[in-house]
Amino acid sequence: MFVLTGKFQIGPRKAVASMIVDRGGQFKDSVCGKTNTLIAVTASRDWKHSHEGTKIICAQGLR
């Protein structure tokens, strides 16, 4: 299960999710117990206080 966070230079998150699904992967909007890959891009120095930071912290807690 893939989860995406951050701003992608190659296009909108929906397009990146489509690429994952087209190649046989599964995509979800939020981190869960089935998440095995979190793709985080363009993190700012204030990442802990952003929505992207919440996903990273949640994923670390599920390790």
pLDDT of 14 reads 92
Q: What is the pLDDT of residues 36-53, one digit of tens each?
A: 998 887 656 665 555 556
Residues β-bridged to residue 5 = 40
Q: What is the pLDDT of residues 5-17, one digit of tens each?
A: 888 888 898 999 9
Q: Which two tokens stand for residue 15?
A: 């397009």
Q: What are the residues whose beta carbons fall under 8 Å from the beta carbon of 8, sequence distance 6 or more? A: 15, 16, 41, 42
The model carries a pTM of 0.69
